[in-house]
Amino acid sequence: MSSPIWTPDALSSEAVRLDGKYWRMVEAQHRVSTLKIVDTLDEQALLEDLIEETKPQIPLECRHLHYLLATPFRYGSIYPHGSRFRRAGRTRGVYYAAETVLTAVAEMAFYRLLFFAESLGTPWPHDAAEYTALAAAIRSTRAVDLTRPPLDRDEAAWTHPTDYTACQAIADVAREAGLEAIRYRSARDPKGANVALLTCRGFAKPKPLEPHTWRIRLGAFGVQAICEFPQKRIEFSRTAFAADPRLNGLRWERGSGRN
């Protein structure tokens, strides 16, 4: 797919304001996992510090942020696989989030199914997995919106399920133009939108907001996601993400992880 051509000056002229709460999901084990291998909270804190020392440095401009916000901006290691707005290699970080929690759930559901599509012999999990949905306050006057004219004329390129060439190219131009964020249509939830934050300067508050606990179950009938407080339920059938060819080979009928 050829990349739409934009110069930094032309893209900068399309800058808009971005201001709101944007959602991201993380596995709920992000802190509890280390507790399983120690006896006390002091030992866990020491272990967490030792693990932290082995990771790439967080840039100075991001060090006031909660680690869940700052982590995507760690530099120094090779980004193994390119993502929609970030190239593989030693590239600058991107914080991805969704405008609604339901779009964030759809994104997580898709990537969990993708894991099983690429691991044919892995059984479905026996139990639902627990995730935390968290919001980040993001504010910028230097954002670009790919869902608005004239940029929306290339929506097919911005939302292509597997070819990120155009998106990575526009991100390069956006950085050169001093833009801080990119708003774009979700490829997993066509009615929803996401934001790619290119710099941690775009965070309006240093800590995540409104954490919600979700349980997501994967199985032969699709994906079911449940949040008790506030109460929300969403289901994705086998065909929910049929537009992505990587799920074409997903073997739905497989055993569960029950012992």
Q: Is residue 101 scored above 70 in pLDDT? A: yes
Q: How many domains does the chain have?
A: 1
Q: What is the pLDDT of residue 42?
A: 82
The encoded tokens of residue 104 equal 């964030």
Kindly state whether residue 45 falls inside one of the protein's structural domains: yes
- What digits encode the pLDDT tens for the residues 195-254? 999 999 999 999 999 999 999 999 999 999 999 999 999 999 999 999 999 999 899 999
Domain that holds residue 47: 8-247
Class of residue 141 by CB neighbours under 10 A (exposed 0-12, middle 13-18, buried 19+): exposed
Kindly state whether residue 252 falls inside one of the protein's structural domains: no
pTM over 0.75: yes
Work out the angle at residue 38's Cα, subtended by the Cα atoms of residues 35 and 44, and round it to the nearest 5 degrees.
Answer: 60
- What digits encode the pLDDT tens for the residues 40-91? 888 777 777 676 666 777 889 999 999 899 999 987 778 889 999 999 999 9
Kindly state whether residue 253 falls inside one of the protein's structural domains: no
Kindly state whether residue 1 falls inside one of the protein's structural domains: no
DSSP 184-197: EE-SSSTT-EEEEE
Kindly state whether residue 257 falls inside one of the protein's structural domains: no
Residue pair 143/16 in contact by the 8 Å Cβ criterion: yes
Kindly state whether residue 73 falls inside one of the protein's structural domains: yes
